[in-house]
Chains A and B, each alone.
Chain A
Amino acid sequence: MTIRWFYYAAPPNFYALAGRLWPWLAALAGILALAGLWIGFGLAPADAQQGEGYRIIFVHVPVSWMSMIIYLAMAFWSILGLTFNTRLSGMMTRALAPTGAMFAFLSLWTGALWGKPMWGAWWVWDARLTSELILFFLYLGYMALTSAIDDVRRADRAGALIAIVGAINVPIIYFSVKWWNTLHQGASVSLTRSPSMAQIMLWGMLLMALAFWAYTLAIVCYRVRSLIIERERHADWVQALPEVAGVKS
């Protein structure tokens, strides 16, 4: 099966595709989250060291992964945008940024609520925490810069530079627990060795991670449609949309 990539790079076609996709992705996110929460809070036993407090893992690890993955996705779309000069790339990058910022904040928030009972501190200036804080600021910087430039295509290009240059921070976050001596523990799950946690806990965490993946894809599909309408509002195809005519009447 061949996918016509450039066909979907055209905003009218992607608008229709995203409109078909987002309700399914949203439903999938809901089902996965319910399953993950059921396993995480209903079936998984207490942790030997941390008791019930470890259950923060079912949200902390997924939101932290998403905060890094979304930034890489922004860098990916930015490279495509600068290379092919496609309009959709900038819109995808912008649609991703608020969700990424939210996940970076939630990573810090849930981390603080986990750090306080286990380490005795809400915050420490350790490599993992500090590099995640920088990621949060990179998201805010991207959003502030792109919204400060009136010409949207120029704003997209300026934002693309932040997204691409800032992406260097993502491997720094990921490997920070190896490269530096940090208070934050190492990875519980990695591709190169078997996970260092009980099967049932791992399943709960992976289901929650998949739920946030589906949620992110759904909200980005939804948000990019608003951006497409806003930017292409002069085009005949937008004016011909039944939902636009519906608002007018």
Chain B
Amino acid sequence: MRWESWSQFWDMGGYGLYVWGSMGVTALFVLLEIWQARIAHQNALALAATEQQDKP
């Protein structure tokens, strides 16, 4: 491990804002996409289920 402390790790040699701004937003978008895909899947299942009830 090449970091001596956590504060050094978060500071990233003064580039902390840029490095963690890149990593953080990427992680956030990936999590939001997964969350959105789960909701879309549940909606699709619910839509298919109501279809069945319409049938005589």
Tell whether, in the assembled complex, residue B13 and residue A52 are in contact, meaning their CB atoms are under 8 Å apart: yes
Complex interface bits, A42-53 against B, C-beta within 8 A gives 1, otherwise 0: 110110000111
A51-B13 contact, Cβ under 8 Å, with A60-B22, A247-B46, A248-B52 = yes
Report if B4 contacts A (CB, 8 A): no
Give the one of B1, B22, B41 with max A CB within 10 A. Answer: B22
Tell whether, in the assembled complex, residue A225 and residue B2 are in contact, meaning their CB atoms are under 8 Å apart: no
Tell whether, in the assembled complex, residue B1 and residue A233 are in contact, meaning their CB atoms are under 8 Å apart: no
Q: Could you tell me the distance between the alpha carbons of A88 and B2 in the complex, rounded to whole angstroms?
A: 49
Partner of B12, one of A53, A59, A109: A53
Interface residues on A, range: 35 or more
Q: Could you tell me the distance between the alpha carbons of A244 and B47 in the complex, rounded to whole angstroms?
A: 9
Tell whether, in the assembled complex, residue A43 and residue B2 are in contact, meaning their CB atoms are under 8 Å apart: yes
Interface of B is mostly: helix
Partner of B44, one of A117, A215, A226, A248: A226
Residues of A within 8 A of B (CB): 41-43, 45-46, 51-53, 55-56, 59-60, 63, 98-99, 102, 105-106, 109-110, 113-114, 116-117, 215, 219, 222-223, 225-227, 229-230, 233-234, 238-239, 241, 243-248
Partner of A239, one of B15, B18, B25, B51: B51
Closest chain B residue to A40 by CB distance? Answer: B23
Give the one of B17, B37, B40 with max A CB within 10 A. Answer: B37
Closest 6 CB pairs of A and B: A52-B13, A53-B15, A248-B49, A233-B48, A110-B22, A247-B49
Partner of A248, one of B30, B33, B36, B53: B53
